[in-house]
Amino acid sequence: MLPKVDYKSELKALYKPSAKRIDAVDVPTMHYLMVDGAGEPESESYIAAIQALFTVSYTMKFMVKRELQRMDYGVMPLEGLWWAEDMSDFITRRKDRWLWTMMILQPDCVDADLFEEALKRVRAKKKLPALDALRYQPFTEGLVAQTLHIGPFDEEGPTVERLHQFIADSGHTLRGKHHEIYLSDIRRAAPKNWKTIIRQPMG
């Protein structure tokens, strides 16, 4: 039987933060499947992006496990980088003006060749509108502040404010893009129990 790796536990400092405090952590360069888009999270393009990300991620997981027989692992959670041309649109919740990059972290056993093969297999079986927009690439975030938010997405404001205040109090400045990591299956969990990692790069 192949060993199964729990990357959320292996990368505990990055994927299991406390909701009671804010931590400064250094995020190394890691490889992700990514797709860019614009508009509110309820839009058709956003839903199509998520479908493509998970379909290809699970295809690669089963290729690694069943065909290559290297290892077994759990597909990592969905992550999102969010920003806007006018950042006040975040405060006023003008979601139609939001820009985003949705992504899923990939283990070291996944590489560009495996991604291309998985992409070819999925394309032969399914017509996914966002498939051609997917890319596999490294992403470097560096020093960040992060914490765990518990509750609906629309109630993240105070958590984000605390995070930004922590950065200012520690003598740093905001840089990069607002980063969220979605730990809960929102189709099953009640909104009050949703767990989201809020991460902000700092310089």
| Domain spans in the chain, listed from the N-terminal domain onward | 1-28+140-203, 30-139
Per-residue tens of pLDDT for the chain, all 203 residues: 788 899 999 999 999 999 999 999 999 999 999 999 998 888 999 999 999 999 999 999 999 999 988 899 999 999 999 998 876 666 667 788 889 999 999 999 999 999 999 999 999 999 999 999 999 999 999 999 999 999 999 899 899 999 999 999 999 999 999 999 999 988 888 999 999 999 999 99
Model pTM score: 0.94
Backbone φ and ψ for 72, nearest 5 degrees, come out as: -120, 145
The CATH T-level fold of domain 1-28+140-203 is Multidrug-efflux Transporter 1 Regulator Bmrr; Chain A (3.20.80)
Which among 120, 133, 81 is positioned nearest to 103, based on CA atoms? 81
| 76 close to 7: Cβ distance less than 8 angstroms | yes
Pair 157, 112: CB distance under 8 Å: no
> Over the range 67-85, which residues count as b (16 or more CB within 10 Å of their CB) and which as e?
eeeeeebebbbbbbbbebe
Residue owning tokens 């295809």: 59
CATH fit for domain 30-139, picks 3.30.460.10, 3.20.80.10, 2.60.120.260, 3.20.20.70: 3.20.80.10
Shared fold status for 1-28+140-203 and 30-139? yes
